[in-house]
Structure 1
Amino acid sequence: MPTCSAFPRLTATMAALCCAVTASVTTGRGGVVARSPLQDLVSQRTVPGAAELSQDAHGVVRFGTAGVADVRTGRGIRLTDRFRAGSVTKTVIATVTLQLAAERRLNVDDPVIGHLPPATANALAGARYGRYVTVRQLLTHTSGLFSYTDDRGFHRDFFGRGFAAHRFVSHSPDTLVRTALAHPPYAPPGTRYRYSNTDYLLLGMVIRQVTGRSYAAEARRRVIAPLRLSGTSFPGTRATLPSPHGRAYSASGPGTAHDVTELNPSAAGAAGEMVSTLPDLNRFFQALLGGALLPPSQLRAMLDTRATGGCYGMGVFPVRLPCRRTVWGHNGEINGSYVQTLATADGRHLVSYRVNSDSRLPQKTEARLLRQEFCD
Structure 2
Amino acid sequence: MPKSRTLLVIPLALALFGLPTASSPLAAAPATDVTLPLLVTRGKAPAAALLTREDPWPPASPGQPEPQAAQQPDQRPRWHFTQTYKALIARTDSNSNSNSNSNSTDTSAETGTGTGTTDTPGVTASATGSTPGIRRTDHFRAGSITKTFIATVVLQLAAERRLSLSDSVERHLPGLIRGENDTDATDLDGRTLTLRALLTHTSGLADYTAGTKGLIPVTPLEAVRTALALPATTPGRWSYSNTNYVVLGMVIKQVTGNAYATEATHRIITPLGLSGTSFPGARTTLPSPHGRAYTSEGEDVTALNPRVAGAAGELISTLADLDRFYAALLGGRLLPATQLHQMLNTRAAQGRYGMGLYPQKLPCGTTVWGHNGHIAGSYVRTAATRDGDRVLTFRVNTDGIADPTLERTLLAAEFCE
Is it true that 1:200 corresponds to 2:245 in the alignment? Answer: yes
Residue equivalent to 2:51: 53
- Judge conservation of contact 1:53–1:279 (CA < 8 Å) in 2: yes
Q: Match of 2:36, SS?
A: helix
Is it true that 1:177 corresponds to 2:237 in the alignment? Answer: no
Residue equivalent to 1:87: 144
- What is the aligned-residue identity percentage? 53
Encode CA deviations 1:30-60: one digit per residue, 9 max, x unaligned: x633333221232457011000001236643
- Judge conservation of contact 2:142–2:374 (CA < 8 Å) in 1: yes
- Judge conservation of contact 1:22–1:66 (CA < 8 Å) in 2: no
> Structure 2 length as normaliser, TM-score?
0.75
Residue equivalent to 1:108: 165
Is it true that 1:237 corresponds to 2:282 in the alignment? Answer: yes
- Judge conservation of contact 2:55–2:327 (CA < 8 Å) in 1: no
Residue equivalent to 1:322: 363
Is it true that 1:311 corresponds to 2:329 in the alignment? Answer: no
Give the letter for the 2:313 counterpart. G
Q: Which runs of 5+ in 1 are unaligned?
A: 1-20, 26-30, 159-165
Q: Which has the larger radius of gyration?
A: 2
Q: Match of 2:405, SS?
A: helix
> How far apart are residue 142 of structure 1 and its match?
0.3
Is it true that 1:359 corresponds to 2:410 in the alignment? Answer: no
- Judge conservation of contact 1:36–1:369 (CA < 8 Å) in 2: no
Residue equivalent to 1:14: none
1:246 maps to which of 291, 304, 311: 291
Distance 1:119 1:263, change over 3 A: farther
> How far apart are residue 183 of structure 1 and its match?
1.9
1:99-248 correspondence to structure 2 within 5 Å: 99-116=156-173, 118=174, 120=176, 128-130=187-189, 131-151=191-211, 154-155=212-213, 158=215, 170-187=217-234, 189-190=235-236, 192-248=237-293
Looking at structure 2, the residues matched to 347 and 332 of structure 1 have their Cα atoms a distance apart, in angstroms, of 19
Superposition RMSD in Å = 2.5
Kindly indicate which of the two structures has a greater share of residues assigned to helix: 1
Give the letter for the 2:277 counterpart. T
Distance 1:147 1:44, change over 3 A: closer
Distance 1:251 1:367, change over 3 A: closer
Q: Match of 2:165, SS?
A: coil
- Judge conservation of contact 1:24–1:66 (CA < 8 Å) in 2: no
Residue equivalent to 1:12: none
> How far apart are residue 359 of structure 1 and its match?
1.7
Residue equivalent to 1:350: 391
Looking at structure 1, the residues matched to 277 and 9 of structure 2 have their Cα atoms a distance apart, in angstroms, of 27
Residue equivalent to 1:66: 84
Q: Which has the higher contact order (CA 8 A, sep 6+)?
A: 1
Q: Which runs of 5+ in 2 are unaligned?
A: 1-7, 13-27, 57-76, 87-123
Distance 1:244 1:57, change over 3 A: closer
> How far apart are residue 323 of structure 1 and its match?
1.4
Residue equivalent to 2:119: none
Looking at structure 1, the residues matched to 194 and 294 of structure 2 have their Cα atoms a distance apart, in angstroms, of 38
